Structure 1
Amino acid sequence: MPYRLRIPKPETPLHLYRHLLRESSYLPPLARLSADKQIKARFRRDKEDKDKCAKHIRDGLHELRVLRAANAGDMARMRRVLLRAFGRIGRRRRDLVSRLVQRDTPTNTQELAKYVAEMAPLAEKYKTHDWLDGWDIEKLRTFALSQINASLNNSPKMPITINQITPEKKLPKENSWGRPLPVKLARTKLKNLWKSAADKIMPPLPVEEWKSLQAIVEGTAQQRWLPSSRRTLARGISESAHASRGWDWQSYAVKPVAVVDRPANRRNKLLTGVVDDNTPTGDPRPIGCHDYTARAWRRMFSYIWNLSATMRKRPDGKGWDISWGKLDQQAASTTPGMVEFFKDFPYAEKPKTRGKRAT
């Protein structure tokens, strides 16, 4: 997609909504489903709040500029858009975490009796129920331990430590005055510790979505997964007349040059879409603008897949099966033209270990 994109600024909320949906249509199909869902849900939620309409429009314009810059070649912003689309950050991540910690509804009398037996000591100890009682702590602990063993690279969240999955051991026995810790204070500390651990979780994705990512990364995807090319932008008569009028000298007369030329700066051009007509050598290319290729897309999807997992309960009902996206990195085989460089090459000898010093 060319980065020289001049689209009129939306004036009404409905116009902005259409621009956002149009811009999300140029995302990869697998990420577009989640992006469209988030745009529609946010529009329906914010249109009822009349008092903050101006703020919602400003936020929408900011998201529109980010989407345009990402589609224009800003790879860092595109990577962040994909992180939000696949629930590694943002609102969808919170929804996936809430599904992860939610307890399974008892389906028979035996499971209901087991649930009542687990809750009875807590109700007797704390007298009241809170949101932590609705969390499946063992399920969260198991997934957090699996995430620690996966050793995620370049995660948008801080890594989980082994001590954070056993917060019960970190609770102090006494307060600062040497007295037994009150039950309510201990419960509050326990909730805060579990909340800090849940904030670092990379929640599991649905199995179908995770397998679609796997097929793209491994190169076995059958359906069309690359984004569509941008359609040509129609240009009205009024825009052509405005372009032929020349440069706006009034702005340079009343404002500093740095302020007037700021939208055409190479660092801001992907966000503003402004063309620099004052440079003698022509419109310079923006900083950080990349040309998306199938290889670049596959690398970004591989980054998302390495941060994703699936979690399914075992058929016997004891434990969970967790699979993380890990691509086996195998060295390329030697071509016939390169064999001569490795022929008769001496093998490295093992270093001799020093023995104990004689006493």
Structure 2
Amino acid sequence: MLSKLAHMNRRLPYSNSEWRSILRSLLREASYLPDPIARGACHNQIVQRFRRYYDEPRIDYMRLRELHKKARYNLSLFQRANEGYLQPLEKVLRTAYGRRGRRRRELLASMLVADVPQDSTMVEELLAGPGQFEEGWRPPGIINTLLASQNTNAAVLQLRSKRPVRRLEPPIPKTNAWGRKVPLVRRRNIRREWYNSVLNYLLPPLPPAELQVLEGLISGKVPWKPTKRRSRPPSPNTEHSKGGMIRTVLTAGPPKGETFRLYENGRPHRITRRLMCRLWRRISCIVPRLHRDDSTGKPRVTWDATRPRPTLALYAKEGSSRELFGNGEGSRKHILKVAAKR
């Protein structure tokens, strides 16, 4: 058995030409994505992942199978996203903007780096304080602020697939099942589990440059146009031949009329600016904006709305209050004139 496994490890299941073909196909489909941030982020992720495993000297047989399956899945995901399927396209956008996956963890780690002490006094206070998850340990302040704000956002609770973390502090009971005090090891493990669940649930803010691009795409300040795809070569039509008909009957069943089988997992949409604005707004409403409150000096979190809010006020010239709030037909005509200008 061991000799057979060793022989399988020596014989790679996939050739270099096949990996090269998958890499080119992934990069080609990534260049067709209708979002500028997604094109750059997906291209970098593909190249980094292939370089990482290319430099690794030894990879076992099962790991190669998993990597090949993951690469084929991502290729299918990009193809369906470029064809206009909404769920794959939104999934790619969430990955590119750091709402899920590895980029979300990277943005979260960069946000927590801001709490690193900058001078020797803060370093001494940190060393004199309790260790991580020990008695008296407190998570970074930005974690509790962002968690409390995220739990009050209805759009995040609706669009986020992760289970929400409602508790702002680790749920440490006073006594255990025997009525005794909870041991130190158990309390430390409870803090670690709570902190890991919070990091798995939080949505970090975007870098200012990418947030500016996202808001510009929604408002129209950043120009956008659909990407042009290279025309595919026509596939040979073998359905009318004898072998092609037999193959079609064996794989898809006997010929029938129009059905919804092709659209059971959704249907392709024509990628327009209106469609992309809907998806961009769904991404923007789950991106927190961190601000510094001038009065208290503490961080404040704001969120974007899912839909643009209607204007509830009209701007008028100074001194025209009598015409606006007066009685008579003149005030009504003036209000309609101001509303028409808006």
What TM-score do the two structures reach when normalised by structure 2? Answer: 0.72
* Offset, 1:252: 3.3
Task: Call closer, same or farther: CA 1:212–1:250 in 2, change over 3 Å.
Answer: closer
- Equivalent in the alignment of 1:142: 145
Whether 2:320 is the aligned partner of 1:329: answer no
Identity of aligned residues (%): 24
* Offset, 1:299: 0.8
Task: Call closer, same or farther: CA 1:195–1:248 in 2, change over 3 Å.
Answer: farther
Answer 1 or 2: higher relative contact order, Cα 8 Å, separation at least 6: 1
* Offset, 1:187: 0.6
- Equivalent in the alignment of 1:299: 278
| 8 Å CA contact retained: 2:94, 2:283 | yes
* Offset, 1:54: 3.1
* Offset, 1:21: 0.5
Whether 2:83 is the aligned partner of 1:72: answer yes
Task: Call closer, same or farther: CA 1:158–1:234 in 2, change over 3 Å.
Answer: closer
Paired with 1:122 and 1:71, the residues of 2 have a C-alpha distance of: 49
- Equivalent in the alignment of 1:61: 72
Whether 2:59 is the aligned partner of 1:50: answer yes
- Equivalent in the alignment of 2:231: 232
SS state at 1:57 partner: helix
SS state at 2:290 partner: strand
* Offset, 1:58: 2.0
| 8 Å CA contact retained: 1:97, 1:203 | yes
Q: 1:243 aligns with which of 226, 237, 240?
A: 237
* Offset, 1:43: 1.3
SS state at 1:180 partner: coil
Paired with 2:131 and 2:312, the residues of 1 have a C-alpha distance of: 57
- Equivalent in the alignment of 2:322: none
- Equivalent in the alignment of 1:115: 126
Task: Call closer, same or farther: CA 1:158–1:283 in 2, change over 3 Å.
Answer: closer
- Equivalent in the alignment of 2:109: 98
Paired with 1:104 and 1:315, the residues of 2 have a C-alpha distance of: 19
Task: Call closer, same or farther: CA 1:285–1:58 in 2, change over 3 Å.
Answer: closer
* Structure 1 vs Structure 2 CA RMSD: 3.7
SS state at 1:195 partner: helix
Whether 2:20 is the aligned partner of 1:17: answer no
SS state at 2:155 partner: coil
Unaligned runs of 5+ in 2: 1-15, 314-331, 333-342
Counterpart AA for 2:32: Y
Task: Call closer, same or farther: CA 1:88–1:69 in 2, change over 3 Å.
Answer: same
Paired with 2:239 and 2:122, the residues of 1 have a C-alpha distance of: 76
- Equivalent in the alignment of 1:198: 199
- Equivalent in the alignment of 2:161: 157
What TM-score do the two structures reach when normalised by structure 1? Answer: 0.69
Cα deviation, 1:261-320, whole Å, max 9, x if unaligned, reads 28xxxxxxxxxxxxx9x6678999755121111111011001001011233667999532
SS state at 2:161 partner: coil
Task: Call closer, same or farther: CA 1:140–1:243 in 2, change over 3 Å.
Answer: same
Whether 2:312 is the aligned partner of 1:308: answer no
- Equivalent in the alignment of 2:269: 290
| 8 Å CA contact retained: 1:96, 1:204 | yes
SS state at 1:199 partner: helix
More helix by share: 2
SS state at 1:152 partner: helix
Paired with 2:37 and 2:195, the residues of 1 have a C-alpha distance of: 32
SS state at 2:201 partner: coil
Counterpart AA for 1:329: R
| 8 Å CA contact retained: 1:71, 1:78 | yes
- Equivalent in the alignment of 1:209: 210
Cα deviation, 1:173-230, whole Å, max 9, x if unaligned, reads 11111111110111101111222222221111111111211122223x23x3334121
- Equivalent in the alignment of 2:95: 84
- Equivalent in the alignment of 1:26: 32
* Offset, 1:22: 0.4
SS state at 1:54 partner: helix
